Amino acid sequence: MLKYKFNLKNGIAKARMCMAASVAVSTMTLGFTSHAADMQDGILTGTAVLSMELLLSDGFEEAADGKKADVNEKPADTVREALAKAEEKAEELRAQKEAEERQKAEQAAKEAQAAEAAARTTSVSGGGLDRELLASIIFCEAGNQSFEGQVAVGAVVLNRIASGVYPNTMEAVIYQPGQFGPAGSGWLDQVRSSGGYTATALQAADAALSGQNPIGGCLYFDQGGYGMQIGAHFFH
C-alpha cells in the first residue's frame, strides 16, 4: 500500500510538471493572439481538471487508508472483548469452585462431628446401665434445671471420657473421687438403684449420648463460678 501511494504521488507530480511545460510551450508557439489565449485557457482548464482528478484520486487513497485503519482496529476490539469475557468467566468459575470447596469442607466437618459423636456414644453405651447411670447423675446434679442445663451436665461427663485426661469409661469418670458430689455422698447410688431419675433426665442423657452438646469442650461446671452460664450452672 505504501509503494502504491508513493507511485501515485510521484505520478501526480510528474503530471503537473508535464502540464505546466505544455502550457509554456503553447504560449511561446502561439503568441498572445486571442486564439492562443483561448487555447491556453483550454489547456489550463484541462490542467485544472486533471489536477482535480488526481487530487480526488489522492483523497480516495487517503480514505482507503482510513478504511484500512478502521478494519485493523476491529480485530483488536474483538480480542479485547473476548479477553474481558474470558476473565469474567474465569472469575465465575473461581467463585463457584470456592463455594463448592466450602460446601465440601462443611459437609466433611459435619460428617467428622457425627462420626465423633457415634464413636463417643459407642465407647460409653456399654449397655442400659450406662444410660441409666448418666440419667441418674444428671438428675442429681441438674434435676431442677432446664432441659438444656441437664444435657449440658451429660455433655461434661462425655467430654471427660473423650478428653484423654480423665478415665475412659462413664462409671470411672462419674465415680472418680472428689469430682461429683452425689457419687461421693451415696445419693447417686440410691437414685440409680431405685430408678429415681425423671423422664426428662433420661431424655437429656439420650440427647447427650446422641451428640447434643451446648457447652463445647467444657470439662467442669459449678454454681457461682465463671464461664458459660446455663441456668444456675457455669460451664468451663
The per-residue pLDDT for 10 is: 54
Q: For the chain, 236 residues long, give each residue's pLDDT as a single digit of tens.
A: 544 444 445 555 554 555 555 544 444 444 444 444 444 455 444 544 444 454 445 554 554 555 555 555 567 788 888 888 888 889 889 999 999 998 888 888 877 766 665 555 555 554 566 999 999 999 999 999 999 999 999 999 999 999 999 999 999 999 999 999 999 999 999 999 999 999 999 999 999 999 999 999 999 999 887 999 999 999 99
Q: The C-alpha cell of 112 is what? A: 467428622
pLDDT value at residue 74 = 63
Q: Which of 26, 13, 18, 2 is nearest to 54 (CA)?
A: 13
The ranges assigned to domains in the chain are: 2-78, 125-235
Query: CA-CA-CA-CA torsion for 175, 176, 179, 181, nearest 10 degrees?
Result: 30
Alpha-carbon gap, residue 21 to 109, rounded angstroms: 98
pTM greater than 0.75 (yes/no):
no
pLDDT number for residue 109:
81
pLDDT of res. 216: 94
Strand order in the sheet with 228-230: 221-222, 233-235, 228-230
User: By the 8 A CB rule, do 166 and 176 touch?
Assistant: yes
CATH annotation of 125-235: 1.10.10.2520
Query: What does pLDDT average to over the chain?
Result: 76
pLDDT of 200: 96
pLDDT at 87: 87
